[in-house]
Structure 1
Amino acid sequence: MKSLLKGMLIGFIIGGILLTAAAFLFFRHPTEEPEPEVPAAEVSKAVQEEAPESGISLPEEPETPEIPAVEPAREASEEVSEPEEPDSALLAFAGDVMFSDPFLASYDKSGISAIADSEMLGRMQNADLFVINEEFPFSLRGEAMEDKQFTFRADPKYVEIFQELGVDIVTVANNHALDFGRDAFLDTLDTLKSANIACIGGGYHLSEASAPAVQTINGQTFAIFGATRVSPSATWYASDSQPGLFQTYDATLLNQKIAEAHTEYDHVIVFAHWGIEKNETPEDYQRSLAKGYIDAGADLVVGCHPHVLQGFEYYNGVPIVYSLGNYLFGNRDGDTVLLEASYDNKGAPSIQLIPCKRVGSVLSRIQHPEALFQHLTELSFGVTVAEDGTLQPQ
């Protein structure tokens, strides 16, 4: 009995302890749902509103500073700069060239030094563009034209002479290009093309014969035409279906081509074959044609064929060179000039004559050209050839 009472007492004590612990846990962690979360911005606002009453001073939130707009960096291609003036361009022109057998024999023996001395070679080679009149075909084919007093041709291998002289463009618009027929003429076109020498005044058809050689030199563009008004036969002229030459007996097409080129290129030049052999005075038709070329848009007119030098003229500020005479024509000697035209991108060029002649078959500069320049002044129309060879319109 006593044991039973003792067990019951211990049970009551343990039960009380457990009830007390349960009550404590219940009131320490209530089962109510938590209050909803308030955004930080609203909490901050509430604190700011209550701060004065609590005596607590909180710093105001700093305002976001305004950032000035920054222009994007300009691309390199968008940079604005003053356009650069093109550099000057120096063009050289020479008259009639023909390779005779003695001429070629001298070259075979001594090379290019048998043709021209170092000073003249330097002037030809250093020009930005060098243009000559090729008065023969490069070919070993064909038969000489009947009833023609003089016929010329040369082995195509001798095109290397042109390359060594620095020739860039040749005009074939003359009275000897078809001396040995059309096959020889075609050989000429092929030979020049293979040598990377441009050809003007003739072609495989009219559209090519009448087209200019186009070159860009130091930022300036040039269109150079070749045409002839001396031809043994009208059958030599190019057509839409026939190789041949570009004629200027009727200058309508040439003037049209000049006008078109004038709108597209900075400078237009005409190299014309005209005049009467050994006549120092240009024909009236030469003067008329030249002025027509200039009216159409040319800013330099150069001529050859008479085998002698003729005078000069300016028309509307544009120089006309009526005949450059012989340059390297067989073994013929005589005074001649290398014409240098300097362009500074301001229209017509300034002209300087380099006086020269062949001495012992070698082309050399004339050291005292006063008499030559005086004679050329007398042949000219309102133009003086100065002591340094420059042309001075009066």
Structure 2
Amino acid sequence: MADWLAALDRRADLRAKAGLTRRLHARAADETVTDLAGNDYLGLATHPEVTAAAARALSAYGLGATGSRLVRGSTDAHHALEDALADWIGTDRALVFSSGYLANLGALRALVQPRTLLVSDAHNHASLIDGCRISGAETVVTPHADVTAVADALAAAPGRPAVVVTESIFSVDGDLAPLARLHAVARRHGALLLVDDAHALGVTGPGGAGAVAAAGLAGEPDVVVTATLSKALGGAGGLVAGPAEFVRHLVETGRTFIFDTALPPAVAAGVHTAVGLARAGDHLRAELAERAARAVARLAAAGLTVSAPDAGVISVTAPGPEAATAWAADCRDRGVAVGCFRPPSTPDTRSRLRLTVNAGVPRADFERALEVIVEVAP
């Protein structure tokens, strides 16, 4: 009866030998570590207006939504947040899910019809990859940010419904997809474009409306936008935004929406307040961009291989998975939290530290963190 547990132990040993062990680390509320690992780009997770709005809703509605959105889980807080998100992003409607992961699974499944072809970027997030798989549709994976390859894949399937699937700001290296060119190719072939704007919403675009808006594609009838509410907005949950007809289709058929307990109302209320702060947060976006440029300059000057970020994600190459793990651990021992990405979490064979810039971190702490990363580099 215990054979299956022994098999799991053997697989864990193999991961350990490859430097791929993962462990959970508890974070205390009063932790003093400088955060360059989380995704709170604008520092809104602890903003007093955000937490106050969440506290008021917590008192009014209780801890959880108590049901799925179609049963008892839809509250005034959810609807107000969806209206605010649609207005900000520039779409007909927006629908809030309990996570960005479920939003991507639901959106992709809802876009698939018989014979649909999905054309997915090789560097897409796991939620998009899993969404393509779960949809059951034929999926062609194209080289990263290769518009010609996308055009060739669509041309090879004439007359078939198709969806081009991409992130805007990619989650590992922080580079920006060629959204306008991808949309032009998709439209030429009668395909839809799905863009996961998770790492751009709040960080780029007019009023922080994201990379889709920055590319001039907001509200286009053949574009669907997904995102998480857990990054620049500092909360939790996910969203799908697009034409009203598509959102209606999700409400009526989307399994990851219909059969999932709704986002807690307190989180919805806090995120709604964060949306207003993000829209007015040009000064925060300017600070974030300045810090990202500063980080790249300092790390490159130390001889490290660093990505050129288009938003708040910075990738720093490590010699290998074990070196990346040790580097991240040494940083943490010195009071700096950084991300550590290794295969198979990376879209290639390269291990790296991933730094995410947080405009809410005190400037002196941010500068010190850069020095620590350089000092303990392998």
Give the structure-1-normalised TM-score.
Answer: 0.28
Could you say which structure has the higher strand fraction?
A: 1
Give the structure-2-normalised TM-score.
Answer: 0.29
Larger radius of gyration: 1
Higher relative contact order (CA 8 A, sep 6+): 2
